[in-house]
């Protein structure tokens, strides 16, 4: 049985948890996680032979991080709380989907804490964590993290250096080793990103000179912190 079917079955027998964090087994597959969530909710709706879709269902609230913002707005948290003041109209529970788990601030988590611990109505939060970012303890301790496996056809050879630029150095090292990224893969993806962003020639030239310096070093499995940190500094320039 596939993961999406297991979760849909848990819904049908009333055993869904109230807070899930979804991660992929590769870094940044944001669209993949969104598609997985959409597929899950579609299966749940179809159990009732409902003609409604996920996007306009009255028992499903999609909350997106505003463009240019690093955290969800207080108004959005208030909208969630208001949404959960009323019982579901068709489904057996309400669903709140949030695209960026790492963007939940301490204030946001504290406001939602009672909703997670003592919900007035049956509800399930599905929070996506595409960058596998470190989450607040308040959120992490109350959630079930699910690592969604990516099928071969969904994999991409392109490295999302922007995703890497959001990470701490420790997380950067961990992901590079786990994904078996080579320095050439990262630098190649970084170079393409710089060109696409039309950044200064000086910055691109600087990156190329550092590439030549790195070419004398071994691959990641050499555990040379100097090399990893130099790569990390290059990637962080995208922020």
Give 159's pLDDT tier (boundaries 50, 70, 90): low
The owner of tokens 């297991």 is 6
Residue-level pLDDT at 227: 60
Residue-level pLDDT at 40: 94
Collapsed DSSP state (helix, strand, coil) of residue 36: helix
- Residue 221's φ and ψ, nearest 5 degrees, are -70, -5
Give 121's pLDDT tier (boundaries 50, 70, 90): very high
Model pLDDT for residues 135-153, shown as the tens digit of each residue? 999 999 999 999 887 764 4
Flag whether pLDDT at 108 surpasses 90: yes
Tokens describing residue 88: 């579901």
Tokens describing residue 136: 């607040």
Geometric angle at alpha carbon 94, from 32 and 77, rounded to 5°: 80
Print burial letters for 73-97: b (CB count within 10 Å at least 16), e (below 16).
Answer: eeebbeebeebbeeebeebebbbbb
CA-nearest of 172, 149, 154 to 220 is 172
CA separation (Å) from 3 to 36, 40, 62, 149, 207? 10, 9, 21, 9, 42
Residue-level pLDDT at 216: 45
Residue-level pLDDT at 33: 86
Residue-level pLDDT at 189: 64
Flag whether pLDDT at 111 surpasses 50: yes
Flag whether pLDDT at 154 surpasses 60: no
Flag whether pLDDT at 34 surpasses 60: yes
Residue-level pLDDT at 223: 47
Domain boundaries, the chain: 3-154, 161-236
Collapsed DSSP state (helix, strand, coil) of residue 47: coil
Model pLDDT for residues 58-86, shown as the tens digit of each residue? 999 999 999 889 899 999 999 999 999 99
- β-sheet with 94-98: strand ranges across: 60-63, 94-98, 123-128, 19-24, 144-148
Q: Determine the distance from the C-alpha atom of residue 215 to the mean position of all C-alpha atoms in its chain, rounded to a whole number.
A: 32
Tokens describing residue 8: 């849909």
CA atoms of 146 and 130, how far apart (whole Å) = 12
Residue-level pLDDT at 219: 45
Q: Report which listed range, 46-55, 76-85, 116-125, is most confident.
A: 76-85
Share of the chain above pLDDT 70, in %: 59
For the question of whether the overall pTM of this predicted structure is more than 0.85, the answer is: no
Q: Is the C-alpha dihedral spanning 160, 163, 168, 170 positive or negative?
A: negative
Residues 6+ apart with CB under 8 A from 200: none
Q: Return the minimum-mean-pLDDT range out of 89-93, 95-99, 216-220.
A: 216-220
Average pLDDT over all residues of the chain: 78
Report how many helices (DSSP H) and strands (DSSP E) the chain contains, helices first. Answer: 10, 5
CA atoms of 127 and 125, how far apart (whole Å) = 6
Model pLDDT for residues 181-238, shown as the tens digit of each residue? 666 566 666 656 655 555 444 555 555 555 555 444 444 444 445 666 666 666 666 5
Task: Domain 3-154: give its CATH code.
Answer: 3.40.50.300
Give 17's pLDDT tier (boundaries 50, 70, 90): very high
Residue-level pLDDT at 234: 65
């Amino acid at each position: 049985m596939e993961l999406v079917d297991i979760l849909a079955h848990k819904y049908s027998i009333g055993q869904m948890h109230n807070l899930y964090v979804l991660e992929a087994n590769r870094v940044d597959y944001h669209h993949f996680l969104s598609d997985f969530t959409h597929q899950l909710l579609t299966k749940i709706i179809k159990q009732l032979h409902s003609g409604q879709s996920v996007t306009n269902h009255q028992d499903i609230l999609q909350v997106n991080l505003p463009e240019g913002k690093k955290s969800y707005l207080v108004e959005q948290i208030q909208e969630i709380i208001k949404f959960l003041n009323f019982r579901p109209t068709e489904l057996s529970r309400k669903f709140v989907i949030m695209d960026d788990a790492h963007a939940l601030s301490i204030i946001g988590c504290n406001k939602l804490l009672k909703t997670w611990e003592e919900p007035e109505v049956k509800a399930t939060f599905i929070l996506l964590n595409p960058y596998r970012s470190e989450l607040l303890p308040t959120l992490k301790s109350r959630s079930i993290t699910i690592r969604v496996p990516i099928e071969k056809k969904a994999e991409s050879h392109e490295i999302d250096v922007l995703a890497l630029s959001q990470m701490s150095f420790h997380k950067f090292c961990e992901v590079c080793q786990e994904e078996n990224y080579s320095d050439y893969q990262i630098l190649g993806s970084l170079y393409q990103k710089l060109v696409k962003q039309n950044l200064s020639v000086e910055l691109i030239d600087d990156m190329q000179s550092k590439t030549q310096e790195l070419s004398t070093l071994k691959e990641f499995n050499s555990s040379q912190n100097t090399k990893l940190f130099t790569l990390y500094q290059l990637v962080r320039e995208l922020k």
